[in-house]
């Protein structure tokens, strides 16, 4: 499956990239957004692309071989939570705009083999970076039942968190839970049958919660936002695409607090959602929300 960048037109509108400017993409993935930005900032502008997934960076090294030689694109395998250090180490300035797209890439879901999708039978890994210590298998087999219930509630907003956590605790006493297929069957035991046939797959929230916990996604976002503000020049823009209400809340409250201090202008009074046409073409975009600011 080809990865389709979400809200691409809207991202370009709010970041407003122009020739000679420098940009950062904190989660470049397949570079759907970055490719478009690169066209608009050429020939003198540069883009710094980060991704925690080493495979994504290796793919982009081949894709942008010429642009790398021309020093128009810098590719870094690291977490956007380390933004200030990365910018410092690469002497990348001034920074006119920053994008953070918190969505999963299609490549990660379809081809990573790390258990992100409940539609494929894979080992329960869920790490964006293979260098991380914590895996989904560790959580479901080692963490206390109460902790599992908490992350399902907090990160997955799962109504049946208690029932699912209980079934996980029962199942692991009999046999270690190792694969996504095993986990899906256990989740089904914790959810009443009448709730298993909705528009959203019944395993979605549990898989989302485990992925967020494994990669400390909310912690990384909280670290990233003040660094992004510090790095931007006056008049620079920051756009964040979130796919989860907790992510969106973190972004909203950070932007609101900075606006009250008179340090930013909020460009999106309400979060920008995908059009009906975009959702029809790419169903994974349906929960996306874009917020953008300009530094004063």
Given a contact cutoff of 8 angstroms between Cβ atoms, the answer to whether 11 and 33 are in contact is yes
Distance CA 272, CA 103 (A): 15
* Cα first-last separation, the chain: 41
Which CATH architecture does the domain made up of 113-213 adopt? Orthogonal Bundle (1.10)
Residues 6 or more apart in contact with residue 235 via CB below 8 angstroms: 96, 294, 295
Side by side, the strands of the sheet bearing 73-77 are 73-77, 46-51, 22-25, 95-101, 232-242, 289-295, 264-266
Distance CA 205, CA 153 (A): 9
pLDDT at 76 over 60: yes
Q: Mean pLDDT across the stretch 76-99?
A: 97
User: For 104, which DSSP code?
Assistant: P
Report the chain's C-alpha Rg in angstroms: 20
pLDDT of residue 1: 41
Question: What are the domain boundaries of the chain?
Answer: 30-58+75-85, 113-213
Interval 111-157: pLDDT, tens: 668 899 898 899 999 998 878 889 999 999 999 999 999 999 999 99
List beta partners, residue 238.
Answer: 98, 293
Q: With contact defined as beta carbons under 8 Å apart, do 178 and 193 qualify?
A: no
Q: What is the pLDDT of residues 166-191, one digit of tens each?
A: 999 999 999 999 999 999 999 999 99
* Measured distance CA(59)–CA(51) in Å, rounded: 11
Residue 104 has pLDDT above 80, yes or no: no
Q: What is the pLDDT of residues 1-10, one digit of tens each?
A: 456 899 999 9
Distances (CA, A) of 58 to 63, 76, 151, 235: 9, 10, 32, 33
User: Tell me, what's the pLDDT at 284?
Assistant: 82
Instruction: Report CA torsion sign: 200, 203, 206, 212.
Output: negative
* Cut 0.75: pTM above it: yes
- pLDDT value, residue 176: 98
- Distance of alpha carbon 186 from alpha carbon 164, whole angstroms: 7
Percent of the chain with pLDDT over 90: 84
Lookup: tokens for 139: 């959580």
Residue 102 backbone dihedrals phi, psi, to 5 degrees: -90, 10
């Amino acid at each position: 499956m080809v990865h389709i960048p979400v809200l691409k037109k809207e991202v370009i509108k709010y970041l407003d990239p122009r020739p000679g400017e420098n940009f950062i993409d904190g989660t470049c993935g397949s570079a759907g957004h970055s490719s478009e930005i690169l066209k608009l900032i050429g020939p003198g502008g540069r883009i710094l692309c980060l991704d925690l997934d080493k495979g994504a960076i290796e793919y982009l090294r081949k894709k942008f071989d010429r642009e790398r030689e021309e020093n128009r694109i810098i590719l870094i395998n690291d977490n956007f939570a380390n933004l200030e250090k990365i910018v410092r180490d690469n002497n990348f300035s001034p920074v006119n705009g920053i994008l953070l797209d918190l969505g999963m890439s299609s490549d990660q879901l379809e081809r990573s083999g790390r258990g992100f999708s409940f539609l494929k039978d894979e080992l329960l890994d869920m790490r964006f970076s293979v260098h991380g210590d914590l895996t989904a298998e560790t959580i479901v087999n080692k963490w206390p039942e109460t902790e599992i219930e908490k992350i399902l509630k907090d990160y997955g907003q799962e109504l049946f968190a208690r029932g699912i956590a209980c079934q996980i605790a029962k199942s692991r006493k009999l046999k270690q839970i190792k694969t996504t297929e095993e986990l899906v069957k256990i989740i089904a035991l914790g959810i009443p049958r009448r709730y298993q046939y909705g528009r959203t797959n019944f395993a979605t929230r549990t898989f989302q919660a485990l992925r967020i916990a494994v990669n400390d996604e909310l912690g990384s976002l909280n670290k990233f936002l003040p660094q992004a503000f510090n790095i931007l020049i006056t008049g620079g823009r920051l756009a964040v695409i979130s796919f989860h209400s907790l992510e969106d809340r973190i972004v909203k409250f950070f932007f609101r607090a900075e606006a009250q201090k008179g340090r930013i202008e909020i460009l999106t009074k309400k979060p920008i959602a995908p059009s009906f046409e975009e959702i029809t073409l790419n169903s994974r975009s349906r929960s996306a929300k874009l917020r953008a600011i300009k530094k004063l």
